[in-house]
A and B are shown apart, each in its own frame.
Chain A
Amino acid sequence: MVNKEIFEKINSIWHARISRKEFISRCLKLGVGAGASIYLFNAMNKYNAYAAIGERRGMREAMFYEPMGDEAVRCRLCPNNCVLSNGQRGFCRVREPVDGKLYTLVYELVCAVHVDPIEKKPMYHVLPGSKSFSIATAGCNSRCKYCQNWTISQRNPEETSNKVLTNQNLVTSAKTQGCDSIAYTYTEPFAFYEYTLEASKLARKNDLLNILVTGGKLNLEPLKEICKVAHCANVDFKGFNDEYLRKTCAQSLDYILRNIKYMVDAGVWVELTNLVVPTMNDDMKTIRAMSKWIYANLGPNVPLHFSRFWPQYKLRTLYPTPTSTLVEAKKTAESEGLHYVYIGNVPGKGFSDTICPNCKNTVIKRSGYRILENKCPGGVCSFCGTRIAGIWNK
């Protein structure tokens, strides 16, 4: 019954008899209305500060992809292996095919440039006390819910304000600022892979160390290529639990483990960081299993940093990690035989000091990102002469 009424109503509107004059007048009104709305919409769009963002620089043909006709490509850079048709953006937000060719959109296009202490990466066993020229572009191939740099990592390059920084200028700036290394950090260097690779080649020629601060999500072929030019890497080993990695970071354990092992075997100096997130990856069983794996596959000399979770991004309402959990994690890892286990961001208790594995003396005393005492010049313990693993000379 109701339907019938509605139907009749619509019918009456549809078949209403109106004069030609009224018809024209209605059409005119509608036209004026529509025109005004469109004009208004455009005017408002023009009058906003966000409009400046959105240009396209930094395009360069990407590496590691297979064309699939003129319409689509398969990206082979990272394990996402995105199949993309023209104009479609990759999961990493920075790769897009145009006319059957894949392009990176952030080549030499940075959105964050800072000079940081190398300890902040964190790299504790590489040129302690030196400065590192740190750069990032927009985009990331992971989706960590606690990302500290989500304002760039979870944004497309059109949504950030960027500037061009050529490889040559990058190297020159790093040199003039007195840095000994370039860190590809904040977001994911493997997402801006081509930039990382080319800049690293040039930096290597100019006696600068290349530091990759990465989540480790990459396919093997590109990894082999980049390991030829990178000196060291801090891999964010987010957890030793596949389900957690999938749910919280959009990663998977198998390729993370494979890549860490490959990097160590290829002679890249690797330090690992594990962010301990309360209620998610803070149980000691998993931490013990992880430490066991590190010991068995990478050896005892790979430094492991436990860092404190801080309410950030989507996990904004989770509480910070209790210090006691971090201390327990450190003890657990050490009991599995790892030599260099650190806790970041809990100062004053010696948790970030380097202890000689042989004589148990403190060889590097740190406070925050500052070196208070260095008793192992050239990487040799000045108490017992044991060699401390790491890169100590340029």
Chain B
Amino acid sequence: MISKNITGFSVVVAGMTAIISQIIFLREFLIVFYGNEISIGIILASWLIWGAAGSFFLGHFVDRFRNKLLVFALAQLAIAFILPAIFFAIRMVPHFLGISAGEIIGYYPMIRASFVVLAVPCAIMGFVFSLACSIYNKPEDPTRHVAIIYVFEALGALIGGFLVSLVLLRIMTPYKILFTVTLLNILSSLLLQRAEMVQGIKRALFVFSLLLLAGAFIFGIRGGVTVLEKESLNRLWQGYDVLESVDTVYGDLTVVGSGKQRSFYENGLHLYTVPDRLTAEESVHFAMLEAESPENILLIGGGVGGLLEEILKYPVKSVDYVELDPEIIELAIKFLPEEDKRHISDPKVNIVNADGRFFVKNTVNKYDCVIISLGDPYTAQINRFYTSGFYNELNRVMADDAVVSFVLTSSENYISKELEDYLHSIYISLSAVFPDVGVVPGDSAVFLASNTKGLITLDHNILSKRLEDRGIETIYVRDYYLFDKLSPDRIEYASDIIERRDPGVKENRDFRPVSYFYATVFWGSQFNTPFLRKLFIILRPFHIWIAVLVFCLFCSVLVMMWSKRRFERTAALAVMTTGFAEINFQIAVILSFQIIYGYVFYKIGIIIASFMLGLALGGLWVSRKLGHIRDEKAFFRKVQLSICVYPLVLPACFIYFSRSSSALSSWVGANLVFPLMPIIAGFIGGVQFPLANKIYLGEARQVGRVAGTCYALDLFGACLGSLVAAAFIVPVLGVFQACFLVAIINLVVLFLLRSR
């Protein structure tokens, strides 16, 4: 019995280890790969596929080990030492790939690197699951204990996820967090070894592990971790002069120096350089010159990149500067020279540390000029600031004759098809709300829009005159520059392409955030990968029924191959589609929450955690119930039915809460309904997994192997989901259709489960 409790503890540790290392590694990888949804998908997919491979292939051996507890102990010992090494390896990736400072990495090297680096740790972690199931096996009731392992693991993930995102990241560097996990794993391994009778070679191992623990502990206390962290940081930023790199809950912020110049990076992406007058002037002056006499300004992002200075050249009354991460401002104050940072503390400037959409939703102020400086929407998160939904919200806080402006990557001499799709989708989203829209052409396109028709002008004479009349001194944005930039030839070229109607390009909506898909395709076009290019071209006019058809084809091939045990195998297939579905649910819920209520870090954390909680609760419930179910097949069908119904309820919730505006309903939505939705999703998954396991196991006795197979299918489904859900299905089909698609896929599986 003692050994059982300890195994339970070790499985909790394994669950914690998995989630914490996943969070940390994902963050580190994103610095190397630049966070767009495809790179996130690639990293998660390689994580899950190796986990699947580990639990499936290594799981095949599990039932043959004689001393499973010892193997478990050894596996945890191995994980303890592999994790810090992997961390180092991730930071070495640019070095391994021969990437020079500032160079972006293509998708193929990205896939190669993440698959190679994550192979060993993830395979071991997947293996540990099958192993634990096998250890916990009791002959009379094997599958119940698979459920318990599942519960323990989910519990570990819940605790780990909570700890790392709400506590540890605020007080520790990532490497130290990982090192703590290492210590925890050695400790757990020691406890496991103690549970066995220790003698002979095992005793030697025990002593060895004890020494390792002590050694690692002393190493940590004496600052060895800090040295390693610094070393790895230099490898990651090879060629740069890194002044500081901090991890906040939102991501990694790094300041690089070159002479007197300071450059700010967020998750490896270049945010801004100070001084960089050209960018700052282009971001600010077009907007300010278009407005009659702008007094109240809203600036979303970019303030420390010199934009405040440019805005304050005008006789404004107030500037509300919204910046999500307070650390950006801290870093600016720490590293910028006096003349560049004094504007941050100007009495007219009111700094708000909040999500821009959250602020716009809740403010009562009215603005004459809104400047958005958040860069290109490569992620769903940033894309929220370029949807027609957001422009509608913005319209509400704009005074009469007000102007909105933002800058996107473009190309001066030739706008490619990929770039055209991207810019055009933003253009139509903007035009859907604002009656007057103009685009200043160039290597960066300045988008200008107004709620008054006829306000926006691209006449360089008028703009130059206004500049002169208002007495604004600039270096770049002035007569000679405007003359060249706004030459009729260039304006005509760009507007011909960006404003030309193209029915194949969709509007960027809150619940169909397609622009970040276009932006990612454009990003991908930088690499010479004809295959991906063709793939994107095919995916562009993608339709929900195509996905359904492909899945049906896949199923019919499977069914043709299965001559016996059809129900059991379909149950295993259901585990896979559920894995796929759950990822889609998570993305849909998180995205919708951010759209409806704005991004609040800890609330997103709660949504993720409540999913884990649901998983654990579901597992727990079913593990108690397993013995008493009379008709397992009928019960399983009911569970499967609930996965078909759930995604149909989701959109209804989203629509209801996005439309209702009363304080009560928005409180209920944000604090009750949204956290509750993932609990239900998790619960269904938690119930289904052990049940499928039991059905699939049937009369056989290879608990570890079967559990490994089911777990692998679960992970494989999730892997597919993470590859396509956020990067492709949600933006192209939209949240609602994505939910619908998941419902249909699960319905097909339900159909296969029908009784004969």
With A and B bound together, what is the CA distance between A16 and B490 in angstroms? 69
Cβ–Cβ contact B504 & A317, under 8 A: no
Interface centre among B103, B489, B542 (most CB of A within 10 A): B103
Cβ–Cβ contact A318 & B101, under 8 A: yes
Known: A149-B414, A315-B102. 16 other contacts (CB 8 A): A18-B563, A30-B557, A30-B560, A45-B537, A112-B413, A114-B490, A136-B413, A151-B415, A152-B414, A159-B533, A317-B103, A319-B258, A319-B263, A325-B258, A368-B484, A370-B483
Chain B 241-270, CB-CB to A under 8 Å as 1, else 0, gives 000000000000000101111010100111
Choose one: A53, A148, A370; the contact of B480 (CB below 8 Å): A370
Q: Given A33-B553, A316-B270, do A149 and B102 touch, yes or no (CB 8 Å)?
A: no
Q: Given A41-B538, A49-B417, do A311 and B560 touch, yes or no (CB 8 Å)?
A: no
Cβ–Cβ contact B556 & A278, under 8 A: no
Confirm or deny: A293 has a beta carbon within 8 angstroms of a beta carbon on chain B.
no
Tell me the A151-168 residues at the B interface (CB within 8 Å): 151-152, 154-155, 159-161
Interface centre among B268, B483, B533, B553 (most CB of A within 10 A): B553
| Residue contacts A-B, CB under 8 angstroms, 5 given | A48-B504, A50-B417, A53-B417, A279-B239, A317-B268
With A and B bound together, what is the CA distance between A41 and B443 in angstroms? 36
Confirm or deny: B392 has a beta carbon within 8 angstroms of a beta carbon on chain A.
no
Provide the residues of chain B in CB contact with A313, threshold 8 Å.
Answer: 526
Could you tell me the distance in whole angstroms from the C-beta of A18 to the nearest C-beta in chain B?
8
Choose one: A49, A160, A312, A314; the contact of B416 (CB below 8 Å): A160
Chain A 29-65, CB-CB to B under 8 Å as 1, else 0, gives 1100100110011001101111001000000000000
Confirm or deny: B468 has a beta carbon within 8 angstroms of a beta carbon on chain A.
no
Confirm or deny: B60 has a beta carbon within 8 angstroms of a beta carbon on chain A.
yes
Cβ–Cβ contact B549 & A368, under 8 A: no
Q: How many residues of A contact B (CB 8 A)?
A: 65
| A residues whose Cβ falls under 8 Å from a Cβ of B | 2, 13, 16, 18, 26, 29-30, 33, 36-37, 40-41, 44-45, 47-50, 53, 111-112, 114-115, 117, 120, 136, 145, 148-152, 154-155, 159-161, 186, 247-248, 278-280, 310-320, 322-325, 345, 347-348, 367-370
Cβ–Cβ contact A278 & B538, under 8 A: no
Provide the residues of chain A in CB contact with B215, threshold 8 Å.
Answer: none
Could you tell me the distance in whole angstroms from the C-beta of A336 to the nearest C-beta in chain B?
22
Cβ–Cβ contact B260 & A320, under 8 A: no
Confirm or deny: B337 has a beta carbon within 8 angstroms of a beta carbon on chain A.
no
Residue of B nearest to A154 (CB): B528
Tell me the B273-299 residues at the A interface (CB within 8 Å): 273, 275-276, 278
Could you tell me the distance in whole angstroms from the C-beta of A321 to the nearest C-beta in chain B?
8
Could you tell me the distance in whole angstroms from the C-beta of B581 to the nearest C-beta in chain A?
24
Tell me the B558-610 residues at the A interface (CB within 8 Å): 560-561, 563
Provide the residues of chain B in CB contact with A310, threshold 8 Å.
Answer: 443
With A and B bound together, what is the CA distance between A160 and B413 in angstroms? 12
With A and B bound together, what is the CA distance between A369 and B258 in angstroms? 28
Residue of B nearest to A153 (CB): B414
Provide the residues of chain A in CB contact with B495, threshold 8 Å.
Answer: none
Cβ–Cβ contact A161 & B417, under 8 A: yes
With A and B bound together, what is the CA distance between A347 and B473 in angstroms? 13
Provide the residues of chain A in CB contact with B263, threshold 8 Å.
Answer: 319
With A and B bound together, what is the CA distance between A310 and B277 in angstroms? 13
Provide the residues of chain A in CB contact with B260, threshold 8 Å.
Answer: 322, 324
Residue of A nearest to B474 (CB): A348
Provide the residues of chain A in CB contact with B493, threshold 8 Å.
Answer: 114
Confirm or deny: B541 has a beta carbon within 8 angstroms of a beta carbon on chain A.
yes
Cβ–Cβ contact A318 & B270, under 8 A: yes
Residue of B nearest to A369 (CB): B484
Interface centre among B414, B417, B490, B526 (most CB of A within 10 A): B414
With A and B bound together, what is the CA distance between A154 and B416 in angstroms? 11
With A and B bound together, what is the CA distance between A120 and B483 in angstroms? 13
With A and B bound together, what is the CA distance between A151 and B533 in angstroms? 13
Could you tell me the distance in whole angstroms from the C-beta of B130 to the nearest C-beta in chain A?
14
